[in-house]
Structure 1
Amino acid sequence: MGSNDIVTIFFLVAAVVIFIQLRNVLGRRTGNEKPPHDPYTRRETTEVRPTADRPAPVVTGRDNGEPVNPYASADTFTAAGSDLNKGLRAVIDADPAFNPAEFMKGARAAYEMIVVAFAEGDRNSLKNLLSREVYEGFEAAIKDRETKGERMNSTFVGISKADMLNAAVKDSEALVTVRIVSQLISATYDKQGALIDGHPEEVAEVKDIWTFARDTRSRDPNWKLVGTESEQ
């Protein structure tokens, strides 16, 4: 037997050993394996309605068997029993995926986008963020500015405070009202270039009360601005 034959036998034996080890570690396929979990797929659930001879099932936690609180995100956000908490619970009843803390992050981002889009006259961005009624008001102000030949320069400095004031559900529409305090540098010039409003360098504090809404029956997860109010 030559040296090449010995080497060949050696690698053949090694391959068999490795195959056996992998089989022991990974196990055999039986045809009943569950498919890999997609973390971005919403789990489908089947509602089981309680009856006299079949009581409602007890929903328990994954680890300790304690009942799951579907309003945990609301109770963490604000005190249980408060008016705001009750409103948030109503929103969660209509939309179980709603999370008030995540909503506030989105509201802050939407506020900045709307303020900047209005200053720039960006109608396309505003259409995606505003209800039809609110958009018409914003669009009218932009058109009036353009008709007069006015130019608005605005710099969004940041948001110093954002609070949720109220939450409710009317029919299928979820409504959340927030108070936002922001800092802006804004200056408006006429067609001759003269400053007519604001200041090009001074930071102004702006206090707004905005209401966002979403149809909980819709598959569209986006909220839209449906009401604005300036706080003096």
Structure 2
Amino acid sequence: MNETTDPNSQTLIVVIIAFYWALLGSWSQLLPRSREDTTKRDDMPTEQRTGSRENTSSADTPLDVIREIDPNFDLAAFLAGAKTAYEIVLLAYADGDLQTLKRLVGPEVLDTFEQAIVERRDREEMLQLTFIGTSEAKVVDALEQEGTAEIAVRFVSDLVSVTRAANDAIVAGHPRQIVEVVDTWTFACEIPSTKRNWMLIATEGE
């Protein structure tokens, strides 16, 4: 993906985001390594978890915790929205599209992404990312504390990632190598909120 985005591409992203928020905007509708280490992923920032999950009982499964918050929780709808958000955020990061990122991620994650994008531009490098698809997306943790619900989702996806210098030389990755990426992303939303807007608040890669 190039650092610049044409108008048609921006329009498509806006449409997808609108669909995403429509899917996740209501509590009743629902809650939002690669195979070889030869492909470097240093350009993909990782936000470490802050805080604890002490309020999650060891006897409860993630779905038990979620359904205590919302008995009508729709797992399929949630995961569909989370997968859409995952792809949009990755592509926006590759494009350096901060406007899209601001709509989907929390302040700490946004700061991490923005810093990485600025450093990439300072090096006059370009990240080209082709998203192949997500083979797995599952809830691995959930909690509710101090009026906020959090749900962690583990994604297993295939993508092609290439970082190029200003002279088009490859700095990292390979244009014809599909890499399996495993990430755990945490989405959060304030329970009292009437909008129920879920934001990405933490990312962790394996």
TM-score norm. by structure 2 comes to: 0.69
How far residue 89 of structure 1 moved from its aligned partner, in angstroms, is 2.2
Unaligned runs of 5+ in 2: 1-27, 29-58
Q: Report matched runs for 1:64-213 at 5 Å.
A: 82-92=60-70, 98-213=73-188
How far residue 216 of structure 1 moved from its aligned partner, in angstroms, is 1.3
How far residue 220 of structure 1 moved from its aligned partner, in angstroms, is 2.0
- SS of aligned partner of 2:137: strand
How far residue 168 of structure 1 moved from its aligned partner, in angstroms, is 1.1
How far residue 98 of structure 1 moved from its aligned partner, in angstroms, is 3.9
How far residue 158 of structure 1 moved from its aligned partner, in angstroms, is 0.4
2:170 maps to amino acid: L
RMSD value, Cα = 1.7
Bigger relative CO (Cα 8 Å, ≥ 6 apart):
2
Check the 8 A contact 1:88/1:100 in 2, yes or no: no
Q: Report matched runs for 1:4-19 at 5 Å.
A: none
Match of 2:55 in 1: none
1:145 maps to amino acid: R
2:165 maps to amino acid: D
Match of 1:12 in 2: none
TM-score norm. by structure 1 comes to: 0.61
Q: Aligned pair count?
A: 149
Check the 8 A contact 1:90/1:169 in 2, yes or no: no
Unaligned runs of 5+ in 1: 1-69, 71-80
Looking at structure 2, the residues matched to 126 and 85 of structure 1 have their Cα atoms a distance apart, in angstroms, of: 28
Looking at structure 2, the residues matched to 226 and 98 of structure 1 have their Cα atoms a distance apart, in angstroms, of: 21
Looking at structure 2, the residues matched to 85 and 192 of structure 1 have their Cα atoms a distance apart, in angstroms, of: 50
Show structure 1 runs of 4+ deviating over 6 A: none
1:142-170 residue CA offsets vs partner (Å, 9 max, x unmatched): 00001110011111000011111011111
- Residues 216 and 97 (structure 1), Cα distance of their counterparts in 2 relative to 1, 3 Å cut: farther
Looking at structure 2, the residues matched to 192 and 85 of structure 1 have their Cα atoms a distance apart, in angstroms, of: 50
